[in-house]
Structures are given as structure tokens and as C-alpha cells.
Amino acid sequence: MTVLADMFKAGRMSRSLIIVSAFAALFALVGLRGVSVALGSDAARGTVAAAEPEAHIRAEIHDRNGELLATSVSVYSLFADPRAIWNAADVAAALAGVFPDMDRAELTARLSNRARAFVWIKRGLTPRQRQAVFDLGVEGLGFRVERQRAYPRGSQAGHVLGHTDVDGKGQMGIEFALDERLRSHDEPVRLTLDSGVQYVLEAEIQAAAEAYDIAGGAGIVLHARTGEVRAMASWPQFDPNRPRLATEAARLNRATGAVYELGSVFKPLTVAAALGSGGISMAETFDVRSELVINGFEITDTHQGPARMDAALVLAESSNIGTVRIAERLGPTGLAEALDRLGLLDRAPIEMPSSAAPILPRKWTELSNATVSYGHGVAVSPLAFARGFAALGNDGVVPDLTLVSGPRDPARPIVAPFVAPEIASDLVGMLRVAVTEGTGKRADVPGYRVAGKTGTAEKPIAGGYSEDRNVNSFAALFPSERPEYVVLVVLDDPRAGGGPGGTAALNAAPVAGRIIERIAPLLEVAPEFDQAALSERASRERSVP
């Protein structure tokens, strides 16, 4: 009995050792697996915010007065380590509860791929989304702190600023053009824009879009002497905070990236070139009543004026026939050379990636010389035109454009003078008359002596030009006695407020006038009233009930 008892005890102890050894081995395997995963990925420790060093912070963008236009903020981005996820389908289902727009099947497939140690789930989480994921308590998920671009003024100057992608690389506008500088420097990039002026310009273009039902629009405020862009707007607006929601129409910067046949705003440039060449004189008059046909193409005026007009009246009455008579003195070569000196035969040189090339006549003929003289048959960007027009307010010299404050790039081309200072001054005087007595009356602003020109151009269509679709524009210089600023308004296909095909005098001109009235105080342009203007203003105020 003693021997049997000893044998029984020995067997029971052997079985106990086997069971204990088996459990020990199992725990050892689990432990080794945990150590392996922990060493391979921070995500295995559960939902954590990984303490990784942040990348270099992208430099801020300011306006000329130091107002913040673009900055970088810290955000959390969610990632996963599939090796630490036991049930990918369950995890995908839990995440879909936080992010309803996620594709559960696609996410399940990615989380099931144990060959990968890192998978992005979602970048740029809101604080609420991060907390919701954290509360899931799911292992294998983690957070990284990243930098995301933010534009505190929303869509204001959106086309100028552009935006970055999820990795912080510039994709449009200044963000793209100065991407390397923004990524490698700490100092903010200061633009020449004035936020106050930019706000007014965008607000008035938006109001015009609503009032006239336009297909698109653009506006520019340019310092005529320095070439600094104080404001640049394009409609439809673009919000750089939500680039994926923008339509193709909203992504296009119409101020720099689109070209238009701008019509009669070209006429002052033609007249200036002819005066500068000596081809015409200020006192000379031109026959505007006789029939004018060139190569079978009849050129007409929209309304009848005096039988003969001098250059000033040609501009005030916006006579196509008179402008062509003047352009004949230049000839195709002379007009082409003049536009070349104005920079209108090339892209506008600006710190933007989307400066569009002009569309020019295939061959400079007698007919193309005629149509180009009054702004048809040549299409340029609004910015390129504003720059050329600025020469009239800058003693005849085309300014060097810039959007970025600071020293200019010495490699930038220097443009030769367009016309002599006295001729430029004469043209500004003519444009003042075009506002006080001609087609630009609705652009006048008491105290600021606006000088400018309307442009109503039929839109090109297959086989010719539309009779009821226009591009309407107004180009202004103010104050006329000492020009400082150019204001250009372009309205593409206005279909209300004067009816389809309505002229620029009915829409673009009053829009420009309202812009000037609002921005002049912001630009510290003091109003000057003569006695006649004061009497007229007082009379209007008394007549208001």
C-alpha cells in the first residue's frame, strides 16, 4: 500500500507540473508578443497621442499692415498599426461611428493588412473627433500632432493666398509660388495687400454678382507708381480653408489666370501711343460719320455724336470709328510695338503661378490693327491691363508689379517708358472728361476726381461675336490731378441691371465708383472739393426726402 500511494502521489505531481509548465509557456508567448508589438509600434499601447517632434512651422502670411492672413495651427491626425489590431472589422465599425463618411469595407481591408506597421486613418481631426476616438478605447490606434494651415479671414484674398495640401505643401497662389520660402524661414511673408481695401473690393464685386447676375468677375486696386497690388479679387470666391469644396469656377483666379477682350478701355492706350509717336495732335479732329469698312468688316459706333471729334471727344464718346482713324496713323507695327512696351503682349510679371498669357492676333493686319485699337481681337488678363493702364498715372512709365513687400528682385525686367510724362498727363485729363461728360459719369465720386474709361466688349463665340453677351469693364485713375491708384472692375456676362448686353456705363462704372468712394479714406487720399462740387452735393442732399 505504501508503494502504491507513493506512485499515485508522484503521478499527480507530474500532471501538476505539466499543467503549470503549459500555462507558463502560454504566458511567455503572450508576453513575447506584447513586447514585440510594443517595440515595433507605439500604437500597440492603445489610443495614445504620440509625442513626436513637430516639423518646421510654415511661416505666416501678413498683409502690408501686419494683419494675419495665413498661419499654422496644431491638429491631431489618427493612425493605426494593423499588427496590433485583433479584429479589423470591429475597429472599422467603431471608427465609422465617429466618421460616417468613411468606407467601412475599404478601412477593414487596410486594417487587416498585418504586413504594414503604419496606416493613416484621418488627418486633421477636430478636438471633438479626437475625444470620440479616444473614448472608443480601441487598441492599435494613435494620434500624431501635425501642423495644418488656417486662414482666419475665410475667403478674403483666397485666390491670392492659395492653399496647402494635407502635407503642408503649397498648391495655389502665394502658398505655391513662395512654398520654399514659407517652409524654410521663420519670418512672416508680408504682402502688399491692404486687408481693408481687399474687403471693400470683394464686397463690391460680390454685390455686383448679385445685382447683375454675372458669370464671373474680377477687380484690382493697384498703386500706379510703385506697382504694388493693394487688392485683388476674383468671383466666384474661393475659401482656402475648404479647397476640396470649391468648384472649378471658384478655383480660377480671374484677375490673373483668365484673359478677356476688354473693349473700349483699350482706347486711351491707342490714343496715347498715337500722340506719343507724333502721328496725331491734340487739336486734330477725325471724321466719325463716314462709312468705315476694312476687308469687308464694317466698323460702327453704338451712338451718334458730332461729325468730327478730337481725341478727347473720341474717348468721351467712346467712338470706335474715331479710335480706328487714330490707329491708322500708327499702323499695325506701331500699335503692336506700343502694346509691347505696355507689357500687354506677354504674361503679367507677378509672384503668382497662374499669370495667363494673352491671346493675340495671328497676324497684325490692317483689320486686326483696327479691332485691337478698341479692345477686340486681343485678350489679356485684368492684371496685365491694369499694369499697362497704370503707366498713364505714372508719368508714362509702366510700373514693376509686385504682391510681396520688401526689396525687389534685381533680375526682374525693367520696362521702358511708354510715352512722355506730358502725354500721360494729357490722357489723364481726357479720361477725367470721359467721366464728367462721357460714358463714365456713374463712376464719379465727389471730392476724388475720378478719371476713367468704360469698356463694353461683345463676347467671342463660334463664328463671331455674341450680340447679347458682354464683358463689361471700367478702368479708373484717382485722384486725377495727381494719380496714385488704378481701380479696374471686370464683369463677365452681366445678365441683369440693364438687361442682357447692358453697357459698362450701367454696371461696371457705378461699381468702380462705389469702390473708390469706400477705399479712398482707407488709402489716406484726402478729398478736395471745389465750390461747384460742394454746391452740387448740397443740392443733392437737400433733394433727399
- pLDDT tens sequence across 461-494: 888 888 889 999 999 999 999 999 999 999 999 9
285-287 and 308-310 as β-strands: parallel, antiparallel, unpaired? antiparallel
Each residue's pLDDT tens digit, 13-54: 444 444 434 444 434 433 434 433 333 334 334 444 343 445
Q: What angle do CA 76, 81, 85 make, to 5 degrees?
A: 120
Quote the pLDDT of residue 500: 66
Query: What is the mean predicted confidence (pLDDT) over 529-541?
Result: 57
The Cα angle at residue 287 between residues 285 and 291, in degrees rounded to 5: 165
Strand, coil or helix: 97:
helix
Taking residues 481-510, what's their average pLDDT? 90
Cα first-last separation, the chain:
129
| Domains of the chain with CATH codes | 41-51+73-145 (3.90.1310.10), 197-543 (3.40.710.10)
Nearest alpha-carbon partner for 58 in 147, 173, 146, 159: 147
pLDDT of residue 328: 96
| Annotated active-site residue in 72, 264, 354, 473 | 264
> 140-149, 332-341, 416-425 — which is least confidently predicted?
140-149
Each residue of 142-171: pLDDT tens digit? Answer: 998 888 899 999 999 999 999 999 888 999
Average pLDDT of span 358-384: 96
Q: What is the DSSP string of 167-189?
A: TS-B-SHHHHHTHHHHHH-SSPE
Q: State the pLDDT at residue 71.
A: 95
Question: Distance of CA 478 to CAs 198, 225, 429, Å?
Answer: 17, 12, 11
Residue pair 419/272 in contact by the 8 Å Cβ criterion: yes
Q: Tell me what pLDDT residue 406 has.
A: 86
Answer yes or no: 405 catalytic. no
Selection from 451, 510, 456 nearest residue 485 by Cα:
451
Beta strands in 46-195 (DSSP E): 48-50, 61-62, 68-80, 119-125, 141-150, 189-190
Q: Please tell me whether residue 470 adopts helix, strand or coil conformation.
A: strand
Indicate whether 402 pLDDT > 80: yes
Tell me the H-state helices in 144-266: 158-161, 173-177, 179-184, 195-212, 248-251
pLDDT band at 351 (very low <50, low <70, confident <90, very high): very high
